[in-house]
């Protein structure tokens, strides 16, 4: 459970760090807030990646599945677009892949 929560926090930090510049580029956010908020969010993202116990390549591979799920939750909650059946199927497949990578038996 700790591993999954850490992946979720990592994904949220990355998405927020990328979303803030998008708001600014669309003219919907202040440039004064952009730099410190985006920098803090992306620094938090990088720091959270260091907390994973697995080797970095395995962390990045497994993280990708969680990122897809969080991105679709963002699509629904922030963009107001309900994910399609295909979106949900894709999330299920990526989370299955994430679980295979992240929770494999220790050698």
Q: What is the pTM of this model?
A: 0.77
107 domain-assigned: no
22 domain-assigned: yes
Structural domain total, the chain: 1
Give the residue numbers spanning the domain of 76: 2-102
Spell out the residues 6+ positions from residue 9 whose beta carbon is closer than 8 angstroms to its own: 48
88 domain-assigned: yes
pLDDT values of the chain reduced to their tens digit, one per residue, 107 residues = 788 898 899 888 888 888 888 888 888 877 777 778 878 888 998 898 889 888 878 888 888 888 999 999 999 999 999 999 999 999 999 999 988 988 888 76
Distance CA 61, CA 105 (A): 16
Is residue 23 exposed (0-12), middle (13-18) or buried (19+ Cβ within 10 Å)? middle
């Amino acid at each position: 459970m700790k591993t999954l929560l850490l992946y979720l926090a990592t994904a949220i930090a990355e998405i927020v760090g990328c979303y803030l510049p998008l708001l600014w580029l669309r003219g919907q956010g202040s440039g004064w807030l952009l730099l410190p908020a985006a920098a803090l969010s992306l620094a938090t993202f990088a720091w959270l990646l260091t907390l994973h116990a697995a080797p970095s390549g395995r962390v990045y591979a497994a993280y990708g599945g969680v990122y897809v799920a969080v991105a679709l939750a963002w699509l629904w909650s922030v963009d107001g677009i309900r994910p399609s059946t295909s979106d949900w199927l894709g999330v299920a497949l990526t989370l299955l892949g994430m679980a295979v990578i992240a929770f494999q038996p220790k050698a």
